[in-house]
Structure 1
């Protein structure tokens, strides 16, 4: 049995485990996960190790609130396509890399442990790094998993810059490998947790570039999340550019409050 088998296929009570993600999930509640952290950090840094194993090490460390995991996320975000584990998970819908979408899940899972372990500042840097990738890397609807109100407030400028980079890409007709417009609308919607006018402005910019039905459908969520004159103005915009299905959802959203 290899060292990676011991890390990923043997449970904390010595039982065999087929799915390594089960061990990661168990470690969220089991403090014995800390005994595996040094070996995971070593595996993560080992350039000769299998990319899939290095990714699992990063995922586990990030899920368990470890600074080494967050630092690896920040480093990977510098050049996503060049990181060793890129494309080791492929999204079934768009046939693009799925590793960063899963790391978004790990970021959310590890938030409480990061606070306990004092790695919050490292996690905050990783949050910023991932947000800044949203115009280039697919997140499968998982961006908001780790974007709580505090994270949004700390990253409003990054959110706005990322959305606007994406809008320029869409407006310039750059070929996209996934539904970028909807992902950008979702990122804009996250900003509503602390700045509703900015969220609506960003979503409007996205839809002005590519008013796809799916993006419009996601944008209706902003009508539910916001209030005031900006909300009614945005609802009117969606009703004007959307079809009957969108108008029906907008009407229901306005009636909800």
Structure 2
């Protein structure tokens, strides 16, 4: 979850909700979120996390964790919060509360992408499949401007790719133009675009192949070229 500094500590309420397992023992939030799906344990933790998420005066890192948990559980408030964050990316209170280890850039949208992706098994039970798709669309639409790194793959499952074709096409086109402009980009946009163009092949192979060629010409970086090579089975991309 959030890669916060050693000085950050969860509030007592958040510690009880996401840092304590269902036997009352200290635990990692990722484990608590996963275990909460067993025997509908998430129902016990949802009200408290809803309170934290909706409290504008609460610790931003805590609100981010609450949003990730609720979204992972296919909660409608979680999805709606992701959609709002993605459509108002510069106004999100928790931006900067988590950073990746490679570029030291904000990776909060990547965490939200993982949460949306991991909620697949719960949407039918909760009747929130449409909201999940909307959340995925909103996040994918950011991928030419904000860091996701490999987290974008969480949104590129077959069912989401099918539902987000327009967003993928648009982001790939905008992203290649941005990359080709030569402007400094503080994250690995090339990798994100490579992953998206590979996903595009599932529904528009001709356009995807053309996008791959243009992406390679824009000097997307070694990681991106390796993705293209792996996806096509050709080492020519890396030569």
Same fold (TM over 0.5): yes
Provide the secondary structure at the position in 1 that maps to 2:149: coil
Aligned length: 229
Considering Cα pairs closer than 8 Å and 6+ residues apart, tell me whether 1 or 2 has the greater RCO: 2
Return the TM-score normalized by structure 1: 0.83
Matched, 1:171 2:180: yes
Q: TM-score with structure 2 length normalisation?
A: 0.88
* Contact 2:149–2:191 (8 Å) recurs in 1: no
Correspondence for 1:110 among 113, 119, 123: 119
User: Alignment partner for residue 215 of structure 1, among 196, 217, 224?
Assistant: 224
Match of 1:11 in 2: 21
Matches within 5 A, 1:18-29: 18-29=27-38
Q: Secondary structure at the match of 2:122?
A: helix
Q: Are 2:80 and 2:135, in contact at CA under 8 Å, matched by a contact in 1?
A: yes
How do 1:58-207 residues align onto structure 2 when only pairs under 5 Å count?
58-207=67-216
Distance in 1 between residues matched to 2:225 and 2:56, nearest whole Å: 43
Q: CA deviation at 1:195?
A: 2.6
Question: Considering only aligned residues, what root-mean-square deviation do their CA atoms show, in Å?
Answer: 1.8
- Structure 1 unpaired stretches of 5+: 225-234, 244-257
* Cα distance in structure 1, aligned partners of 2:194 and 2:56: 37
Distance 1:39 1:211 in 2: 44
Superposed displacement of residue 211, structure 1: 4.9
CA-to-partner distance for each residue in 1:108-148, whole Å, 9 max, x for gaps?
21111012100111101001011111111211212122322
Distance 1:99 1:204 in 2: 30
CA drift of 1:20 comes to: 2.1
Aligned 8 A contact 2:113 2:155 in 1: yes
Give yes or no for contact 1:62–1:107 (8 Å, CA) kept in 2.
yes
- Are 2:197 and 2:208, in contact at CA under 8 Å, matched by a contact in 1? yes
- Deviation (angstroms), 1:46: 0.8
